[in-house]
Amino acid sequence: MFKVSTLSRGVLNLSNTFTRTYRPMTRCRGTNTFTASSKRPFSSSLLLQHGHLKKPKKGEELHVTYILKDGTQKTFEVSAGETLLDIAQAHNLDMEGACGGSCACSTCHVIVDPDYYDALPEPDDDENDMLDLAYGLTETSRLGCQIKMSKDIEGIRVALPAMTRNVNANDFN
Ligand code: FES
């Protein structure tokens, strides 16, 4: 067993036995960043963030409707800045969010109502890469963790796809 003795400048020195250089991990637009590079700050994901939504201020309520797999519609009143993933998880909807919103899976795949799709900011390359792995990709597919509520998308409607894909070791057996 190796003991970690040094962690600096992106290099992890394991009891002087061998040295491994870590490549920095990048994320989409999330606020939590994990990296072993010396040029970027180290921080970890706050697991308790998920499921804890800010109550919207009076007069600033925004609305989002989820269309569930069985066709049921659920509408919620939320604050600006909340992601569709956090809102879904706070209300126990069936959105896994396996990577915790770090744009490293496609289990928060949502299909956006075309009437709202153009009002969303363009997906970045990381999000597009993950969307390529999503089952049932459509012209208006997005990742729920990358969509933050704002006045521009007030009333947005999103459908949860019938299936999502979480790539794990078992997929390669
Ligand atoms: S939760 Fe993994 S990409 Fe959104």
Q: How far is the CA of 107 from the centre of ligand 1 (A)?
A: 6
Q: How far is the CA of 69 from the centre of ligand 1 (A)?
A: 19
The predicted model scores a pTM of 0.69
109-112 and 18-21 strand pairing? unpaired
CA of 40 to the centre of ligand 1 (A): 22
- The whole-number pLDDT of residue 117 equals 97
- CA-closest candidate to residue 83, choices 103, 69, 67: 103
Q: In what order do the strands lie in the sheet with 18-21?
A: 4-8, 11-14, 18-21
55: alpha, beta or left, given left = phi > 0 and alpha = psi -120 to 50?
beta
pLDDT at 52: 82
Give the residue among 131, 101, 113 at the shortest CA–CA distance from 64.
Answer: 113
Ligand 1 atom with the smallest distance to the CA of 145 is 4
| Fold adopted by 48-168 | Ubiquitin-like (UB roll) (3.10.20)
d(CA 63, CA 121): 18
The amino acid at 12: L
Q: Which residues are CB-contacts of 65 (< 8 A; sequence separation ≥ 6)? A: 73, 74, 75, 76, 155, 156, 157, 158
Q: Spell out a b/e string for 64-98, using b for 16 or more CB atoms within 10 Å of the CB, else e.
A: bebbeeeeeeeebebebebbbbbbbbeeebebbbb
Domain ranges of the chain: 1-44, 48-168
- For 159, the token pair is 């459908």
Q: Give the mean pLDDT per block of 10 residues along the chain (173 residues).
A: 38 36 43 48 51 88 96 97 97 95 96 97 97 93 98 97 64 44
Where residue 43 falls (left for φ over 0; alpha for ψ -120 to 50; beta otherwise) is beta
Q: What integer pLDDT is reported at residue 142 of this predicted model?
A: 98
